[in-house]
Each structure stands twice: as C-alpha cells, then as structure tokens.
Amino acid sequence: MHVKRFEDAKPYEAPNHHGVVGLRLQGFEEAGPENQWVGLSQFLPGGGAGPDATPFEKVYVVLEGEMTVITEAGETVLCKYDSCTIAPEEIRTIENRSNHACTMLVVIPYPPEAI
C-alpha cells in the first residue's frame, strides 16, 4: 500500500487551465500507481480549462461546487458527487460559472512517455 497524506500533495501546473490550483494526490512517484495519476483541482469562480483534448480518457468527479463541461455533444453541469468520462481526443472545455469554488477529483492515465 502506498499512502500519501494530503499535506504532502504537491501543486502542479496544468496546461491551458486558469483560475485553478491543482494538487497531485497520487502518481509520478516511487511506489505510486502504475497506470494512472490522481489530481485534486480547486477552481475559483470563473476558472476553467480548454478547449483542448488529450489522446487518453480522463474522469472528473465533482466533490464540491459545480462545473460546466462543454463538448461537441453539448454541455452539462456536474454537481456534488456527479462524474463524467471524457473520451480520448474528445474536445472539452470546463468552466466554473458559479460564485463558489469547485473542487474536482481528476483521474488520468499516464502519458505513454511517462511509462
């Protein structure tokens, strides 16, 4: 078992994101997960990301607040404990349109060059 305490999580910069602080909870470390990494993103009102896409899928889980997720299929608002999967190469934009912070768990496979 690999335990990492929240106080030991390190911030990371996510490309094409604004108004957000990301903390790496698991991944990219000795004895950590081998297939994916887990981040905790804290978006201020007006914060968000995109539009962009990645070659691998990702999962978003809203823990607090709400997040609007926009894809070519339309847009939806994720509220507390809602989740979604973004498919590989699916273009998405996320926006915190509320006046409250949004805390979101993000699970993403490692990019091929990191394995």
Q: What share of the chain is helix, strand, coil (3-state, %, to 5)?
A: 5, 55, 40
Set out the domains of the chain in order of their start, with CATH numbers. Answer: 18-110 (2.60.120.10)
Percentage of residues of the chain with pLDDT beyond 90: 90
The answer, yes or no, to whether the previous bond of 88 is cis (omega within 30 of 0) is: no
Using one digit for the tens of pLDDT, what is the confidence trace for 18-57? 999 999 999 998 888 999 999 999 999 999 999 999 999 9
Categorize the per-residue pLDDT at 111 as very low, low, confident or very high, splitting at 50, 70 and 90: confident
Q: How confident is the prediction for the chain on average, in pLDDT?
A: 95
Per the CB < 8 A criterion, the answer to whether 58 and 24 are in contact is: no
